[in-house]
Amino acid sequence: MLKTFEDLIDPFIDHPDTTPPRRLVPYMLSMLKPFGKWLPVMAVMSVCVAVVEVSLLFYTGRLIDLMSESGVAAFWRDNGLELVIAAIAIIGARPFIIGLAHLFLEQTLVSNTQDLVRWRSHRHMLGQSMTFFQNDFAGRLSNRVMQQGPAVEDSSYMMFEAVWFALVYVISAAVMIAAFDLWLVLPLALWLGAYISYNIMLARRVAIASEKASDARSMVTGRVVDAYANIETVKLFADEQQEEGYVLSAMRRHRLRLQRFLRLMTEMHFLLNFLNGAMICGILGLAMYLWSVGSVTIGEVAAASALVMRLNGMSGWIMWVTIRLFEHMGVIREGLRSIAVPHALVDEPKAPALKVSEGEIRFDHVTQHYGKGAGGLDALDLTIHPGERVGLVGRSGAGKSSLVNLLLRFRDPEAGRILIDGQDIAHVRQTSLRQQIGMVTQDSSLLHRSIRANLLYGRPDATEAQMIHAAKQAAAHDFILGLQDKQGRRGYDAHVGERGVKLSGGQRQRIAMARVILKDAPILVLDEATSALDSEVEAQIQETLYNVMSGKTVIAIAHRLSTIAHMDRIIVLDRGRIAEQGSHSDLLAKGGLYAGFWTRQSGGFLNPEAAE
């Protein structure tokens, strides 16, 4: 039965990936939309629970009056049937109603909301541009995604279990007290007005304090994760006191903001108990006075007393729930700063998939200055013919990385267009574009998964034999067989650690090469692909690389000019434009920039800062 209620909602059901609303209420409604037809049922069940609880107190007062009005024998004789019916209702109907309410709240709502919110937030974040992630801490972004789920789930649950329930309970209590004597409603109404007013005032302050505390908490997480993710750099370069101070400053800020939040909690407890004391004295004092003048019975005084004690207990709980609600609202608003950000790069509606038949790449008057007016690419015109192998050379900042980033559509050019086989890459699906391009970067990071999962990442349908063949081509098979992680997993099942930290730079590079070889995309981009390899290993796979390049359109960036000397054409970029192009021998004969780079090499490396 529990699974039936759990499966009323599928939190991972496919949905349009639209930007979440930036404002709190529309965002909450959008997250709860999948629960739409069940929310009214939950509201009705909460009403039923509240009415049942108030009725129980009301009947307690009635029992006292019945007992006081008759002797023992007459009490059982005259009221036996009623007592049996009441017992059946209390033992059977009441648990059923409360249980059904909790089945909807906990199995349907709570068990699905966290994962629904996190999944949709994560899915939207994955669609953000590279620039988006480069401009923030990975730790802070992940913290916001992870906090969002519990905040939305707990807020939704408390709206039904506490706020809505309390509202119905107080209204039902007021009706019950009014049935005893209308004067008893007056102190309850005065208390309720003061309670709600203070709650609203406090909640606003809590929302602000909570958002600031949540922001500080995300900053701490971001800085801590930044240190752990770059622990090698921290160990090699950072003064321990400097690194500790960097995180400590964020922790001190978080402590101050948390303390401001907790001051509000202390204030709440003091004033709440003052208001409750006034309510207890007001209602009980008035009830006893009305009893003394014969307006109410002893049973009604007892019922009013029980109700007051119940409200006294509930008021602290409700105020705490309200505080938690507004605390969650602060967390949600803080999270929406990252989660409710529109995608900078989006596919056009019904954009087709890129189809690569030949592999021609054309940069048509492409300009990219990153909004600075200089740097990047400047009105670049370049055509790379199908199956042509092109090497890119230039100083740092000449535009090499900009060209590759634009080709992969990590950014859109400020002007011009890029075409592959005549198709403007801005008008095709981004995933289809990147599926057609294999890339090995200078710093190839791996996923903290098995070697097998990393190799198959670009081609999940590859066979075991194809995977092993690719690893052998990249001179990686032998060392992979010797790997073992802490859990005892060996070979291709061994896990590589975060970003592949358990492997050497050369091992990571060879696995990255094997992954691209296995992907077998028609366009190949090599960005310092062999820079992390020693000369012996590079020699082993150099021939393999040239074989892999066969029939593909290749763009290779290298400072080690010997790795691109045999390319069909070498493009020399300078200040975002093509300064020279031709074969290795032709460029040496010209005696220009490339020849200068070649003569200034030390061990085959280009000094990227070399003067003309």
Query: Are both 13 and 48 inside the same structural domain?
Result: yes
Query: Are both 419 and 470 inside the same structural domain?
Result: no
Q: Select the more confidently predicted residue: 607 or 535.
A: 535
Above 90 in pLDDT, residue 194?
no
pLDDT tens per residue, range 110-147: 899 999 999 999 989 888 888 888 788 777 888 889 98
**DSSP secondary structure of 312-343:** HHHHHHHHHHHHHHHHHHHHHHHHHHHHTPPP
Above 90 in pLDDT, residue 553?
yes
CB 469 within 8 A of CB 557: no
Residue 445 inside a domain? The answer is: no
Query: Are both 371 and 383 inside the same structural domain?
Result: yes
Which of 162-171, 184-193, 464-473, 525-534 is predicted most confidently? 464-473
Above 70 in pLDDT, residue 519?
yes
pLDDT tens per residue, range 233-254: 676 665 666 777 888 888 898 8
Query: Are both 198 and 55 inside the same structural domain?
Result: yes
Query: Are both 422 and 477 inside the same structural domain?
Result: no
Instruction: Give the per-residue pLDDT at 220.
Output: 86
Residue 347 inside a domain? The answer is: no
Residue 488 inside a domain? The answer is: yes
pLDDT tens per residue, range 576-599: 899 999 999 999 999 889 888 888
Residue 399 inside a domain? The answer is: yes
Q: Please state the pTM of the whole predicted model.
A: 0.74
Q: Which of 339, 372, 404 is the last residue of a domain?
A: 339
Query: Are both 508 and 389 inside the same structural domain?
Result: no
Residue 352 inside a domain? The answer is: no
- pLDDT-derived band at 408 (thresholds 50, 70, 90) equals very high
Above 70 in pLDDT, residue 303?
yes
Above 70 in pLDDT, residue 560?
yes
Instruction: Give the per-residue pLDDT at 304.
Output: 79
Q: Which of 339, 371, 395 is the last residue of a domain?
A: 339
CB 526 within 8 A of CB 557: yes
Residue 349 inside a domain? The answer is: no
Above 50 in pLDDT, residue 603?
no
- How many CA atoms lie less than 13 Å away from 586 in the CB half-sphere? 11
Above 70 in pLDDT, residue 228?
yes
Question: What backbone phi and psi angles, to 5 degrees, belong to 271?
Answer: -70, -35
Residue 444 inside a domain? The answer is: no
- pLDDT-derived band at 281 (thresholds 50, 70, 90) equals confident
Query: Are both 372 and 483 inside the same structural domain?
Result: no
Residue 362 DSSP one-character state = E
Q: Span 431-457, mean pLDDT?
A: 87
Query: Are both 403 and 538 inside the same structural domain?
Result: yes
How many structural domains are present in the chain?
A: 3
Q: How far apart are CA 477 and CA 511, in angstroms?
A: 9
Number of Cβ within 10 Å of residue 161's Cβ equals 21
Query: Are both 146 and 53 inside the same structural domain?
Result: yes
Domain of 167, CATH number, reads: 1.20.1560.10
Instruction: Give the per-residue pLDDT at 610.
Output: 45
Domain of 472, CATH number, reads: 3.40.50.300
Q: Which of 468, 491, 520 is the last residue of a domain?
A: 520
How high is the mean pLDDT of the chain? 84
pLDDT tens per residue, range 50-69: 888 888 877 787 778 778 77
pLDDT tens per residue, range 195-223: 778 777 777 787 778 778 878 888 888 78
Range of the domain at 459: 451-520
Query: Are both 470 and 574 inside the same structural domain?
Result: no
Q: Alpha helix locations (H) across 89-158?
A: 94-102, 111-126, 130-134, 138-158
- pLDDT-derived band at 325 (thresholds 50, 70, 90) equals confident
Q: If we measure between CA atoms, which residue out of 234, 258, 256, 232 comes closest to residue 245? A: 234
Query: Are both 470 and 533 inside the same structural domain?
Result: no
CB 408 within 8 A of CB 385: no
Residue 350 inside a domain? The answer is: no
Which of 185-194, 299-308, 488-497, 557-566 is predicted most confidently? 488-497
- pLDDT-derived band at 36 (thresholds 50, 70, 90) equals confident
Query: Are both 411 and 459 inside the same structural domain?
Result: no
Q: Span 13-17, mean pLDDT?
A: 81
